[in-house]
A and B are shown apart, each in its own frame.
Chain A
Amino acid sequence: GAVVSQHPSWVICKSGTSVKIECRSLDFQATTMFWYRQFPKQSLMLMATSNEGSKATYEQGVEKDKFLINHASLTLSTLTVTSAHPEDSSFYICSARDLTSFGADTQYFGPGTRLTVL
Chain B
Amino acid sequence: SQQGEEDPQALSIQEGENATMNCSYKTSINNLQWYRQNSGRGLVHLILIRSNEREKHSGRLRVTLDTSKKSSSLLITASRAADTASYFCATKENTGFQKLVFGTGTRLLVSP
Contact = CB atoms under 8 A, between A and B. Distances in A.
Contact of B45 (A6, A36, A108): A108
B3 A43 contact: yes
A105 B29 CA distance: 12
Contacts of A8: none
Given A43-B88, A43-B105, A44-B88, A107 B42 contact: no
A71 interface: no
Interface stretch (A72-80, A81-89, A110-118): A110-118
Which secondary structure characterizes the binding site on chain B? strand
Contacts of B33: 105-106
A42 to B, nearest CB: 8
A112 B41 contact: yes
A25 interface: no
Given A43-B3, A43-B88, A43-B105, A107 B41 contact: no
Interface in B64-112: 88, 92, 98-105, 107
Given A43-B105, A44-B88, A105-B31, A112 B42 contact: yes
A111 B42 contact: yes
B70 to A, nearest CB: 17
A111 B39 CA distance: 11
Interface of B: 3, 30-31, 33, 35, 40-45, 48, 88, 92, 98-105, 107
21 contacts: A6-B42, A32-B98, A34-B99, A42-B105, A43-B102, A43-B103, A44-B43, A45-B102, A46-B99, A46-B101, A93-B43, A103-B48, A105-B30, A105-B31, A105-B33, A106-B48, A108-B45, A109-B44, A112-B40, A112-B41, A114-B40
